[in-house]
Amino acid sequence: MMISTSLLLWKVENRLYAYLVTDKEQEMNKQDWSISLKEYIQAQRQHNPIPGRDSLSEEEEWHCRVIGGEFIGWYERHLHGILGQRMVLRVMQFDPDPLIVFTTTMPGLIAAQEIMPEPSENMFYLLQDEFEAWENEHPVDEFKFHIHHWSYFQQIDQELLSRAQEEYPEISKEEYRIHVTGDLWGEQCGVEGVHLLRWDGQEMGLLQEAFSQLVY
């Protein structure tokens, strides 16, 4: 690993000292990134373990089904296309065997664990807010050796709620649900879809796929 050395000056008890400090490489390599993320996930699961599926509420059970089905579809169909696009863009020096990071909510983690109880060495799944916190403390690799896919339910914001009420006025505002999915596999390479669903207290139904969409 390449390292750089910087001279730091500091003052203690009114005396000036100088010493050398070895700085870490600004960007971690693939192995370091993978080991660090794996250790972080293990620590998070010790603190906040994945519960049994029977602990979910009726609505959370539907979240689990929807997220699980979406993840299977993405992994079996869309991931292949992403890998193909990365191979075409060889000038960007993408790793041919990237790490795959799947982020979600707890119902999604339950689904992921059932789908992949023993994930491969290049597969990681954790909570969306956990990954965001981890990313803030670690240099990004510009997606050279990782792909990020996310799928989770979130509260509907006022803008989307207003649109939903305009397009589906017969539905009570308390019944709208938002499912967010997306992926990033390169700098400004990816897409996010916001899907509008309805929860009537018993079942979850899709009202409109890609109710809102963002292309990076």
Query: pLDDT for 90-137, tens place per residue?
Result: 767 899 999 999 999 999 999 999 999 999 999 999 999 999 999 998
Q: What is the pLDDT of residue 27?
A: 63
Rounded CA gap, 16 and 27, in Å?
32
The predicted model gives 168-192 an average pLDDT of 96
Residues 157, 173 contacting (CB under 8 angstroms): no
Confidence of residue 15 (pLDDT cuts 50, 70, 90): very low
pLDDT at 91: 62
Q: What is the pTM of this model?
A: 0.86
Cα–Cα distance for residue pair 177/89, rounded to 1 Å: 37
Where does the pLDDT of residue 51 fall: very low under 50, low under 70, confident under 90, or very high at 90 and above?
Answer: very high
pLDDT of the residue at 25: 41
Distance of CA 34 to the CA centre of its chain: 15
Averaged pLDDT for residues 170-185: 97
CA–CA separation, 8 and 23 (whole Å)? 11
Q: For Cα atoms 181, 206, 155, give the angle at the middle one, nearest 5 degrees.
A: 55
Q: Between the CA of residue 114 and those of 4, 68, 164, what are the distances in Å?
A: 44, 9, 33
End-to-end, the C-alpha distance of the chain in Å comes to 32
The closest alpha carbon to 1, from 26, 21, 19, 20, belongs to 26
Residue 9 pLDDT class (50, 70, 90 cuts): very low
